[in-house]
Amino acid sequence: LFPPQSSWRRETSCRRPFQWVCHKWQISIWAWLKLSVRPRVLSSRSQAPYHAACGQLHLQAVASRNEQMITTEAGRVPGNNTRIAFVGPLPPPLNGFSSVTGTMLGMLKERAAVEVFDRAWGSSARGFIRQLLQVARFFGACCSGTRFTLYLALSGGRGQIFDCLYILVSRLFHQRAFIHHHSFAYALSSNITNRMLFYLARRQAHIALSYGMVGALVRRYGLEQSKVMVVSNAAFFAET
């Protein structure tokens, strides 16, 4: 029934090379299929130009949407005497804050009538008096019947005392307001001036630099997240 042991050994010894070759071919075919269907992973260096271009287009779109939203809100008030009250520091001196506000002012002037209230401090004594006169001018313009939509580039320090006055006048005349945040100082910690300002401006529209800033402001001051939009400062320099 069974072949002699010597012949059985010869047959198995002859089959072993053939089986080994077939096994190697199976491994090679499996590896080739595995590598051919694997998606190509680009290096971070090769993806960098693509991500930069997408980020630039996104920032430009967000900045344009933000600009259109402010001017659209100003145009919703009945009457043709609606203007944007632009409150923020303008150069000189030239720094990051004043550069962004200057760019935003130029964008708004292309779409709507703008009344400028410069928050650049200047010298200590004259600057204090000048800022009080600017608030008085804003109050007088509101009393004259002009309808404003307030755009406020919020200060990061003691300048918020004057910012509170602008927001208070805006609330007295039931005006819309856009509060543009440029500092994390009051988002991470707060004092009585910060809390008073955000109490007055809690239900207004807010513009933050990032989603992290949005979360910090919402948690600390109880803002409505649906009324906070994100516009990075990089959007104002995307074309340069």
Question: Please, what is the Cα angle at 163 between 158 and 169, to 5 degrees?
Answer: 145
Q: How confident is the model at residue 61 (pLDDT cuts 50, 70, 90)?
A: low
What's the pLDDT at 223? 93
pTM above 0.75, yes or no: no
Dump pLDDT digits (tens) for 21-52.
455 556 555 555 544 444 444 444 544 554 45
Share of the chain above pLDDT 90, in %: 45
Dump pLDDT digits (tens) for 107-152.
899 888 999 999 988 766 788 899 999 999 999 999 998 889 999 9
| 196 backbone φψ class: left, alpha, beta (φ>0; ψ -120 to 50) | alpha
What's the pLDDT at 146? 87
Dihedrals phi, psi of 90, to nearest 5 degrees:
-120, 150
Tokens of 154: 């919020």
pLDDT at 183 over 80: yes
Cis omega (within 30 of 0) on the bond before 92?
yes
Rounded Cα gap, residues 201 and 164, in angstroms: 9
Half-sphere exposure of 61 (CA within 13 A, CB side): 6
What are the C-alpha distances in Å from 212 to residues 59, 73, 112, 188, 229?
16, 26, 31, 11, 12
Dump pLDDT digits (tens) for 76-100.
544 445 789 999 999 888 888 888 9
Of 16-25, 143-152, 212-221, give the lowest mean pLDDT range.
16-25
Mean pLDDT for the chain? Answer: 77
Residues forming beta bridges with residue 180, ordered by sequence position: 153, 207
Whether the CB-CB separation of 114 and 86 falls below 8 Å is answered with yes
Q: How confident is the model at residue 186 (pLDDT cuts 50, 70, 90)?
A: very high
Amino acid of residue 59: L
What's the pLDDT at 63? 54
What's the pLDDT at 236? 72
Rounded Cα gap, residues 142 and 130, in angstroms: 19
Q: For 192-214, what is the mean pLDDT?
A: 94
pLDDT at 198 over 90: yes
Share of the chain above pLDDT 70, in %: 63
Of 25-29, 128-132, 227-231, 233-237, give the lowest mean pLDDT range.
25-29
Cβ burial, residue 13 (10 Å; 0-12/13-18/19+): exposed
Scan for tokens 């590896």, then name that residue.
Answer: 31
Most confident of 22-31, 52-61, 202-211: 202-211
Dump pLDDT digits (tens) for 167-181.
999 999 999 999 999
